[in-house]
Every structure is written in C-alpha cells, then in structure tokens.
Structure 1
Amino acid sequence: MGNCDARLSGKFARICGHKPKQGLVRKWYINWEDIDREATQTTNRGTKVELLVLKADAKIYPAEGNNKTSKANHAYNKADFGGGYIHTDNFTVMYRGERERERIQELVDGAKVVTIIEKVDGGLNGELAFELVGMESGMTVTEDTWSSSENSGTTLLTVATEEGEEELTGVKLFLQNTYTETLDFIKANEYGDPPAPPEQSR
C-alpha cells in the first residue's frame, strides 16, 4: 500500500484506505495503586504499554461514556521548573450493586484512578484500539454529579491530574500483543457482581 500524502514520511505516513474515526466504544478504570509498576512494561519512550500488571486481587471496573462523558483529553502545561501533561477524563460509573457507591467514595476520599479507553478507531492491526489515561501519576475526582432524572440515575465523574503531578507523556497506547489478547486481559480482571446468596429453604 502506498502513502496517500507525499508530505508525510516514515512512520508518519498515512496508509491508503485507512480512515480514522472519532469516539470511543467503552471505558474501564483502575485504582492507580493497584498497578504493579515494576512489572508493567512500556516501550516507545514510555508512550505505549505492552504489558500491564495488576497487584493481587486488583480489579478493573467498568465505566461508560455517553454524550456528556465520552471524552478524555490532555493538555501540555509549561511550568517554571519544567513541563508535563495534565489529563482530564469524564465517565459514568456503571451500576454494580452497593459497591458502586463504595468505589465512588474511595475516589472522593483521595484514591487515584487510571482510565482504559477502547476507541472506535482500532487502526489497521488493532494497535490504536486501547489507550491509558493517567498512567504515570493517576487522576483524582474533581467533580461528582448525580441526578435521579438524568443518565438513568448514574453518577457522572470527572477526574484530572493534580496540580504539580503533570505526567511526562501524553495518553499512552495500550496493546498486549493483539486486540483480542488485550480485551481478554481486561475481561479476565473485570469486576462483576458477587454471586447472590442461596435462598433459604422454608
């Protein structure tokens, strides 16, 4: 396949037939403290995670995006003593029983979060399908909005990099070998409702 734009070269060349799309498919979040940073492996100057390792019993929590929350962004901030990226993410915590409020309260109490995003545009080989937001320093809650009449009564959360904790790199690509293997990893570690207790016989 030839390059479609002669002004771009090398790894920045656009491949003919590839039409990027905007938007996301779904989101998950992880407590920042639950990531084993020594075992996790990055490449490409820290911009890609090839192996994400969680601590024992850590879980990945489902979230979702809608027309108000389906976006994440970062901005480069040049400070007096250096610069870095500030990340912001918006998502809705999906209802998972009483643990939903417990998890939100944990975040409000100061726990940090990392978001996994599955994008609409997966690239030619799935290499663009997943991204990690807040991987280096984590993000904390800046807004917690709940309304019984909006978004099916779910909680809208905004999380952001704290001041003075800017990250060295932007949003990271996340791919553990293939798209399928990456999704399998997420699903294998995804939190679900505990099984219901057996009914008492009368």
Structure 2
Amino acid sequence: MKNMQIGKYSFGTGDRFAHQGKAQLQALIQASQTLGFEIVPVWNKSNREHTIVYSTPADTREEADNAVEALGYKGAYFVDADHINLSNVDKFIEYSDFFTLDVADFIGEKALPADIDAFLIKNSKYIGKLYIPGIVTPFNVSEALLWSIAERFLYAIQEAGRIYRHIEKSKGEGNFIVEVSMDEVNDAQSPVEMFFIL
C-alpha cells in the first residue's frame, strides 16, 4: 500500500489533443517557483473527451510520463480518469492514479428505505444547531432536513462507494486518489448538504 496523497495545491491540465504536456508542465514548474509552493499537475481527460478526439487513457498517461521525463520533473503528478462512472471506469484503471467519480446523474434517485433509516440514525446527533468552522451562522438541522438530504443524495453517495470499491479491487487500497463530482447539475448543493454528503 502506497498511501498516495496529493499536495495541497493541484492543477488540472486539460490537454485535449495530447500536444501540450511539456508546455503545461513547464508553466506549472514556473508558477511553483514564482509562488514559492508546489503545484501538483494532474493530467485529466474524460471518457467523453477521449471519444470526441479518438484518444485513449493510455495516450494521456504517455503524454504525462513523456513530459515529466523530458523536463526532468521530480515532483508528484497524476493522471485523472475524469468524470467516470461504472460503465466506463475499467478502460482507465490501468493508466490512471486519480479518479473523478461522477455521480451527478444519480442525485435524486431513491436509496433503499433501510439505508435512509440508517442514515437518519447515524446523523441524528446533528439535529439542532450545527456549527461548521469558518461559517459564522449555525445551520438548523431537523429530521425533515436530514430526510430530504438522504432522499436526494444518499443513492449518489452509495454509487460513489460502489465505483471506489471497484477501482480499489484492481489498484489496491491507497494506490489512487479520488475526487467525487456532483457539481455538473442544475442546482448546487448547499453548505449543510455538503456537510452530510461528505
């Protein structure tokens, strides 16, 4: 187990046609030197983007590795299987070490009643005033609010777990970075919803 971790600051490089890897890495190296802190490059490309430009996850990995070698870069870097789900993750597993799990399509799907009940029991300790560091005004959490969050988001959260475990079977625990995407939706999540999603 590697216990892979990403640095505090990262930057996604979306080189759609796989021709700008060295230039993008050089820009991040210069930015890191100018700013005085490390910026971790993450080469990202979604299944949709691969389909549009007729590329593969292997192409993205090759571009990243070639740029790193050409510039003698010694820092951490990652290749992101961007906005993937269970229907397309397998083609990325061998080449990626960062996975953006896109579960936005599952928001609003209903989890099993027993799972909703378990969510309510687990989170009932937050009923009342919820103080979140960095936010001045507390949130009023009621059982109705918890129920609403569970009905709207629990199934999507469970789907993220299913994708994660699928990747973990192949890559092993601690050998990849995960980001969960629920942001490409019509209605953004509120801070209190994000608290319970996380």
TM-score (normalised: structure 1): 0.22
TM-score (normalised: structure 2): 0.23
Q: Where is the strand percentage greater, Structure 1 or Structure 2?
A: 1
Q: Where is the helix percentage greater, Structure 1 or Structure 2?
A: 2
